Structures are given as C-alpha cells and as structure tokens.
Amino acid sequence: MNRTTLSLMAAVTALAAVTGFAVVFAPEDGTTGAAAGTATPARMPVERSSLLCPAPSTSEVAETAYTSFTPAGTGAADAKAGSAALVPTDATLAAPDDGKDKKQDKDKDKDKDAGKTEASKPVLSLKEPGKPVTAEANTAEAPALVGSADGRLAPGWAAQQTTKVSAGQGRGVLGVSCTAPDTSFWFPGASTADERQDYVHLTNPDDTAAVADIELHGKDGVLESDSGEGITVPARSSVPVLLSTLSADSAEDVTVHVTTRTGRVGAVVQAVDEEGGSDWLAASAEASGSAVLPGIPADATSVRLVVFAPGDDDADLKVRLAGPTGSITPAGHETLHVKAGMTTAVDLKDVTKGEAGSLLLSPAAPGRPTPVVAALRVVRGKGAAREVAYIPATGQVGERATAADNRAKGSVLSLTAPGAAAEVKVTASAGSEAGEAVVKTYKVKAGTTLALTEPPVPSGLKGSYALTVEPRSGGPVYASRALELPEDGVPMFTVQTMPDDRGTVAVPEAEQDLSVLDD
C-alpha cells in the first residue's frame, strides 16, 4: 500500500472521527463520489454516535422527562439494526480489587454486584428509528447519563432532558439537548453575581480520567482564578463546578471557556437566578464572523445579548432582528463594539415588540470579519412571575436537525432564513405512546423568522414526539424549538437550538491500490 493510499485512509478516519465512524456503502454503479469521475466526497451515515446528559437538579420537587429519538430513514438500507441507550455515569465503575478471597465477603459482594447491575440498566433504550422513547426521574439524586448509538440508530440520534422545578431555588423549566463530548466549549451569558448560582457540569464518557480547565472572561478580561485549572473528571463520571468559587470577582456577565488537557467531556452550564428562574445554557456555536440566535419569543419582556471575541482583534458587529416580515435594526443598537478578550453585554429590552424573531450579528465592515461567540438571556413575564431561558448562537440546520421532546401543546418551532428564502420540510414523528407521523412543508421568506406556534402534531398523539427539520431548497436555515410549560401563572419555558445533527460524514473518493502485492 503506497503513501497516497495511506494518506487517503487517514483522511477518511479523521473525518469519521468528527461525529462517529462512517458507514461506507458503495453505490450500485460502483462509484464513491457524488458522480463517477468527480472528486466530490460522498455523504455516508455515521455508524456510531455519543451523547451526554448532565445531572438534572438537586431540588426535591424536580420532575425530569427524558426523550430519545432517531429520525426514520436516516441509515443505510443494509445497516445493522443497532442499539441506542443512555445509562447512569457510574454504571461501569467497578470496586477496587484488593486481591483477597474471603468467603465471609461473598454475601457483601453479591449485594455490590446487585447494586452495580441495577445502576447499569439503561434509563432509556431505543429500539427503532422514527418513534421516540421516554422515561422519568422524579428525584434529586438523578445522575448524569452517558450513552451511545450504533447501526441504523446512530445517524441523527438525539436526546432531550426536560426538568420542571415548581418551587424553591432553581424554579423553572430546565431543558437541554444532550450533547456530544468534545475538547472545547464557549459559554457567553453565564454569571458569578451574588443572585446567580451557575454551575458548569463536566461529564466524562470514557474509561480514563479527563483533565479540564475553566477560564472566566468578564467585561475587563480574564477573571483571576487558581482553582479553575487542572480539574480532574474521573472516568464515567460527572463533576459540577460552581463558577463563583473560581474567582473572587462578582460579575454579572461572564463568558466561560472550558478546555481539556487530556480526554474529552460534555459541558453545559446550569444557570440559576434566585428570583428570576433557571435554565441550561448550552455552548455557543464555533466562533465566527457572523452569528444567528433564533427563536426569541413574541412576548419576551427582556432580552440581553452577551458577546465575546476570543481572538486578538476587536469585533465591530451589525445587529439586526429578523421578524415575521423582514429584518430591522433595533433602535439605539445598530452596531456593537466588542473588545478582544472581553465580554460585552447589551440590554435590548423588549426588542421583539410582540412579534417573534431572531437576532442576526454580522460584520459592520465588509471584508473584516472577527470571530465571536454569543448568547441571549431571554425573560418572559414580570416580577415574581418571570422566567428565563438562554439562546446561544447556533449553526445552520444543514441537512437535518431534530428537537426530541415536544408535547401536544406548548411547542413553538422557529425557522430563520437570514439570507435567501428557503423551503423547509418539517416532520412530526410518531408519538411515544401512540400517533402517526405527519409531514408538512413551509416557506421562509428571505431575512425573516417563521414562528410556528402550532407546529405539526402526530395524528392521534399520545405521549411526546420529535420534530425534525430538513431544508429542501433555497438559502441556509437556522432553527430552534421553545417548549412552554406554564405553572401557577409563571410562563415557564425553555429554548433549544437545532444545528445540523451530523448524521452523515463526508468520505473522500478512494481507490484500492494492490501494488503492495507486487514483488
């Protein structure tokens, strides 16, 4: 095998590692590219996916619902059936072996084995694509979950964790799409202020320990911290870190940067406001010169934008709001200057003015993009009856994206086309208990946000269902799903963005080289 062939194989391996292992099936005509004689990489379904869900809540009144789902028709026709399961983080932790063999410990060992077997049972186990499965955990001791999917259940596998805390500290709806492990995460929108109790949850899915660093960036730069370096996350475990313990500085707006020295982790911030509710803050999309933050509710009473420029250059951004009829510039906030290495926040107040929309950030000067990360802190309601949610900048839908947990009422799907107009296919899956899938197509005008307050619902629905978005034509589409679960007059809600599910991977064309057999 020559060096060229080895290089091609290495490239395939590296690409597959981004989202899993690619299932490579040759087309019937024997070509591997988009067309014979071209070098266009083929898109192949991934063979394996990994997801991590943080520990839901320490509240005694927390009620958590889990949903697991893989879109139908996403894997190769001859892929193996596969499996998809989420298990507690400590399921594979074994007791240390001291080398002793004592008969009197036999009963004790049996008890330990029984406990381990119980812990190893999947919280969720998916058997078929196209139909979600659900589970509940109504306890303060609910652990973080780790899981993987393979075969035809791997492409597009999604899981949602939705927790409702009806009273006390942390009151609100906390929703999060379970995430894939990685080595770097940015979280603009966190806080170390006195009224906030923000934790970053680090979950390690692997069989060896990971070591992570947490760096905090305030309005004047890096917040001094000695305890944010070298945080060990043991194998198959999850560690919550209270941000306010990492620095003596109290800062209303902080950007959190999580990196790993060794291993990989899943990371998400649990943002708790003592009086204003709580929710999960997911990582911002990779730093870019432009950003889209989709799905601001029509009745938002307060919207706060937090932006950070991680490079060495300042960023000058143009700010626009894409509403139902077009894009406008918020009065008094036409542009935003973000100093390098510093967190900048601006209060946009009730920017939507009763109409749902999405915030668009772009370079103020053409040809001079400076990468930024961004997030929105969105409030609904007022006074003691207010609730908060977070919308990070997100990647475009790409080929397909899914929001796993939807109810008969309370789901709002937002579709944004910041450039050219687009046509989008939306599939409401079968229900978790009963109900047949429903498919509808929508047109999104250029520069607008289409907010579906009544998205498709499975016919005869019982239980929950998944919404899958697939652009069919036109320009890039960005999406998010809001889930509204009001409680005692409080407009509790959560918002999950919907980037591409990375269910396929590009595999470059490669040819066999049998010259190694020549002597």
Model pLDDT for residues 445-496, shown as the tens digit of each residue: 999 999 999 999 999 999 999 999 999 999 999 999 999 999 999 999 999 9
| Within a domain: 106 | no
Q: Which residue has the higher pLDDT, 1 or 94?
A: 1
Quick one: CA torsion of 315, 243, 137, 378, rounded to 10 degrees? -40
Q: What are phi and psi of 429, to 5 degrees?
A: -70, 175
Q: 278 with 291, same domain?
A: no
83-88 average pLDDT score? 96
Q: 79 with 180, same domain?
A: yes
Q: Which residue has the higher pLDDT, 389 or 9?
A: 389
Domain boundary among 258, 283, 308: 283
Q: For the chain, how many structural domains are there in total?
A: 3
Beta-carbon contacts of 514 under 8 Å, excluding residues fewer than 6 positions away, are none
Q: Which long-range contacts (CB under 8 A, 24 or more apart) does 26-33 make?
A: 31/509, 32/507, 32/509, 32/510, 33/509
Q: 37 with 82, same domain?
A: no
Return the minimum-mean-pLDDT range out of 105-114, 180-189, 410-419, 474-483.
105-114
Domain boundary among 233, 263, 283: 283
Domain assignment of residue 226, given as a range: 47-92+114-283
Q: Which residue has the higher pLDDT, 76 or 19?
A: 76
State pTM to two decimals: 0.87
Q: Which residue has the higher pLDDT, 342 or 25?
A: 342
Confidence (pLDDT) at 134: 98
pLDDT > 80? residue 95: no
Distance CA 147, CA 18 (A): 17
| Within a domain: 134 | yes
- Which of 283, 286, 291 shows the shortest CA–CA distance to 315? 291
Q: Which residue has the higher pLDDT, 513 or 86?
A: 86
| Within a domain: 53 | yes
Q: 279 with 291, same domain?
A: no
Confidence (pLDDT) at 445: 98
Q: How confident is the model at residue 75 (pLDDT cuts 50, 70, 90)?
A: low
Confidence (pLDDT) at 106: 41
Confidence (pLDDT) at 519: 52
Q: 271 with 314, same domain?
A: no
| Within a domain: 374 | yes
| Within a domain: 154 | yes
The one-letter code for the residue type at 300 is: A
Q: 305 with 242, same domain?
A: no
23-32 average pLDDT score? 36
- Which of 481, 408, 502 shows the shortest CA–CA distance to 176? 481
Confidence (pLDDT) at 93: 32
Q: What are phi and psi of 472, to 5 degrees?
A: -105, -30
Q: 150 with 256, same domain?
A: yes
Q: 444 with 295, same domain?
A: yes
Looking at the DSSP bridge assignments, the partners of residue 438 are 428
| Within a domain: 451 | yes
| Within a domain: 405 | yes
Our CA angle for 264, 265, 266, nearest 5°, is 145
435-447 average pLDDT score? 98
Model pLDDT for residues 418-430, shown as the tens digit of each residue: 999 999 999 999 9
Q: 397 with 436, same domain?
A: yes
Q: How confident is the model at residue 4 (pLDDT cuts 50, 70, 90)?
A: very low
Q: Which residue has the higher pLDDT, 300 or 7?
A: 300
327 three-class SS: strand
Q: 128 with 206, same domain?
A: yes
Q: How many helices (H) and strands (E) does the chain have?
A: 2, 38
Domain boundary among 236, 268, 283: 283
Q: 225 with 274, same domain?
A: yes
7-30 average pLDDT score? 39
Q: 318 with 351, same domain?
A: yes
Count of CB atoms situated within 10 Å of the CB of 221: 13
333-344 average pLDDT score? 97
What six digits make up the tokens of 462? Answer: 């019982």
